[in-house]
Structure 1
Amino acid sequence: MATAVIDGISTRYEIIGSGPPLLMFSPGGFDATVEKWRTQGIYVVTQFLEHLPSHFTCIVFDRRETGQSGGRVERVTWRDYVKQATGLLDHLGIEKAHIMGGCMGCSVAMAMATQAPERVDKMVLFWPVGGARYRMTGHQRFAEHLAFVQQNGLEAVVALSKESNKAFGADPRGGPWISVLRHDAEFAKHYAKLDVDAYKAIVAGMPRGLIDRDTSPGAEPEDLVRLDIKTLIIPGADFSHATSAARYLQECIPGSDYWDIPVPQLMAENTNARVIDFLRV
């Protein structure tokens, strides 16, 4: 693992394999770490990092505010995630790359494709997040964190961060900066002294920007319909990865390749072959 400082925030990353560059946006919400490509749900089955590095230079990283990457208390938006991604490419001296997102990483990939299309070759969206239940659950997490802060204060959040390794999604009380609090003592010291009312205003605004619709978030449909980037969409089929969200992306992204495959048929061999063939053509 290596570290780069991008926009004043530390980013933990790893480069695996050789070939054309493939920037991979990790699955998971506020726990989008490199390890999730191997350990989370369907990714245990697909084993992308055991197959794709034989064909591509895979660039994987912890999204800001997750894992060992740093963070900053601000109203985080999709544009901030794009800034981290393009900054990492700049750090590595890469002008243009294929991009691939898993889960919420699909939303970051879409944001990058619409905001910095000149940096993107082809795009793979695997199990994009979205759907009404995804929105409701996401907003509920932020509400639970705000309630905890209101009742206990920010020092209690810092104390909570030392009690377990649970991320924001597993224990919403800890909030979106819980991972940074665990490994950065200076950040934790500053965090505990923040004005509580100002902090609550920042947090309250985040879900309205990041989880703002009942389909897949990350980019406006008016921007998606203007994309000129070859895109492969592989749909999920559960409460957090609604098939309707993937179909919405198929509708919006011109000429997108929608792989209509039942989830039980998604295995390592056929899934990696599909992704490799798409990116290499």
Structure 2
Amino acid sequence: MTIIDIAGEPFNVRMDGPENAPVLMLSNSLSSNMSMWDAQVRAWQSHFRILRYDSRGHGASVAPDRPYSIEELGRDALAILDHFGIAKAHWCGVSKGGMVGMWLMTHAPERLGRVVLANTAAHMGPPDLWNGRIRTARHGGMAALADATVERWFTAGFRGRAPETTAAMREMILTTPAHGYAGCCAAIRDMDQRWTIRAAENPVLVVVGAHDPATPPAAGRQIHEAIAGSSLVALDAAHISNVEAEAEFSRLAGDFLRG
């Protein structure tokens, strides 16, 4: 674990791979941490200098008790790149990490190379859904959300055949700070990037999970149709496709990122 200081706030980051390789930044989903990328790091670290981090509100990074915004999360990513003197990086984000990637493509496109947007959406309503999750987290903690989150994240078949992985991911949810989760829920609640992403010019791969109830395939198709020249692939998975369809995700996204 490496803690860096960004404007007086701690962020947990990790670097893997050759120092002279192209930089690839990985951004985690809501209620997870950087360890969700372990399989991809193993698959990609010979090709990339991989920079991953715990998002604001998650893992061992700063978690102020207030609402966040997608812009704030995007500026965190830029500040981390600046901290390491990295002018440009490829990007791969799942769910919330994909939302941050979309913001970066439209507000700092020169900082990104190729971009993978996985199991994500440009807009996620209604507000009452997110307000309800915020209330649940604040009153019942992450234990009150863990079971339903795991059911959204993975198909029943995967949960049955991979109980150890499922248990580890559930523990990741439970260790997420409830107030940090609530802050990020507010960011997603208030986000609408459906029109701004039409200006994106980076090479983009959109990944959808065929069985994803959180950001269904239609949400990924909407992103694909909005970003000219983007590609779209569907995996046999639910919401956290880089874990459930680990091998196929690593192969398809890795091939795209290598160009």
Q: After TM superposition, is the score higher than 0.5? A: yes
**AA partner of residue 274 (structure 1):** L
Equivalent residue runs for 1:104-253 within 5 Å = 104-128=96-120, 137-145=129-137, 148=139, 175-177=178-180, 207=185, 209-212=187-190, 217=191, 220-236=193-209, 237-253=211-227
Structure 1 residue 135: Cα displacement: 6.3
- Matched length: 224
- Pick the aligned partner of 1:260 from 234, 237, 240: 234
Find the aligned partners of 1:72 and 1:167 in 2 and give their Cα distance: 21
The one-letter code of the counterpart of 2:62 is G
- Tell me what 1:23 maps to: 25
Query: What letter is aligned with 1:256?
Result: S
Do the aligned partners of 1:9 and 1:64 also contact (CA within 8 Å) in 2?
no
Query: How many angstroms apart in 1 are the aligned matches of 2:68 and 2:125?
Result: 22
Residue 80 of structure 2 is aligned to residue 88 of structure 1: yes
Counterparts of 1:256 and 1:98, CA distance in 2: 15
Task: Give the conservation status (yes or no) of the 8 Å contact 1:131–1:240.
Answer: no
Question: Which structure has the larger Rg?
Answer: 1
Against the structure 1 CA distance between its residues 126 and 249, is the aligned structure 2 distance closer, same or farther, given a 3 Å change threshold? same
Gaps spanning 5+ residues in structure 2: where? Answer: 142-169
Go from structure 1 to structure 2 and tell me whether the alpha carbon gap of 1:145 and 1:83 turns closer, same or farther (over 3 Å shift): same
Structure 1: where are the runs of 5+ without partners?
A: 39-46, 150-156, 158-165, 179-202
Following superposition, the deviation at residue 71 of structure 1 comes to 2.5
Alignment pair present for 1:35 and 2:31: no
Q: Secondary structure at the match of 1:254?
A: coil
Distance 1:56 1:70 in 2: 26
Aligned-pair identity (%): 22
Q: Return closer, same or farther for 1:134/1:20 CA change in 2, 3 Å cut-off.
A: farther
Aligned-partner Cα distance in 2 for 1:89–1:61:
11
**Retained in 1: the 8 A contact 2:102–2:193?**
no
CA distance in 1, matches of 2:26, 2:228: 22
Q: Which amino acid aligns with 2:69?
A: T
Task: Give 1:100's aligned amino acid.
Answer: C
Q: Judge conservation of contact 1:134–1:241 (CA < 8 Å) in 2.
A: no
Contact 1:10 1:71 in 2 (8 A): no
Q: How does 1:24-103 map to 2 (within 5 A)?
A: 24-27=26-29, 29=30, 31-38=31-38, 47-103=39-95
TM-score by length of structure 2 reads 0.74
CA RMSD of aligned residues (A): 3.2
CA contact (8 A) 1:12 1:62 kept: yes
TM-score, length-normalised on structure 1? 0.69
Distance 1:267 1:167, change over 3 A: closer
Deviation at 1:65, TM superposition (A): 1.3
How far residue 75 of structure 1 moved from its aligned partner, in angstroms, is 2.7
Code of the residue aligned with 2:216 in structure 1: it is: A
